[in-house]
Amino acid sequence: MLRNAVFFGLRLIKKRNKGRPLTFNFQANMNILWQYFSFFGLFLLLAYCTPPSEKKTAPSAAADGQTVYRQYCVTCHGVDGTLGLNGAGDLTRSTLSLEERIVQVTKGKNLMTPFEGILTPAEIEAVATYTLKLNNNGK
């Protein structure tokens, strides 16, 4: 992406210089590049430095466990909890209690991502509760 931005800036200089070589007027070329990269930097600053409250990351704390599960867990555990990709446990046969599930989702295990900084405690509890519903023994 940065390479494309540099090439675009150089094409802009060539266009402004009416096709003359870049060495025609070094100071003018530097001014054009400064303007271009200032604009590009401002765009990046506005695009990626929004306040945390405005970022759209995880579902809200009021989201149900199924929504959180579908967003973060389906890839390895599957829709019904039996996929077992990357060594993920079969959730339909799990004997873990709710508290143990909360700890495992929070801290991770083996290849499982620790969701401590990704999900809120309420979302972690909601998804752990939802996984109990997947468990055939937990019904």
Architecture (CATH level 2) of domain 65-138: Orthogonal Bundle (1.10)
Q: What is the mean pLDDT of the chain?
A: 76
Residue 138 confidence (pLDDT) above 80: no
Mind listing the pLDDT tens digit for each residue in 57-109?
545 545 689 999 999 999 999 999 998 888 888 999 999 999 999 999 999 99
55 pLDDT band, cuts 50/70/90, is very low
C-alpha span between 34 and 81 (Å, rounded): 54
* Percentage of residues in the chain having pLDDT higher than 70: 52
State the Cα–Cα distance between residues 119 and 60, nearest whole angstrom.
Answer: 9
Considering the entire predicted model, what is its pTM? 0.55
Task: Answer left, alpha or beta for residue 21, where phi above 0 means left and psi between -120 and 50 means alpha.
Answer: beta
pLDDT band with cut points at 50, 70 and 90 for residue 135: confident
Domain boundaries, the chain: 2-52, 65-138
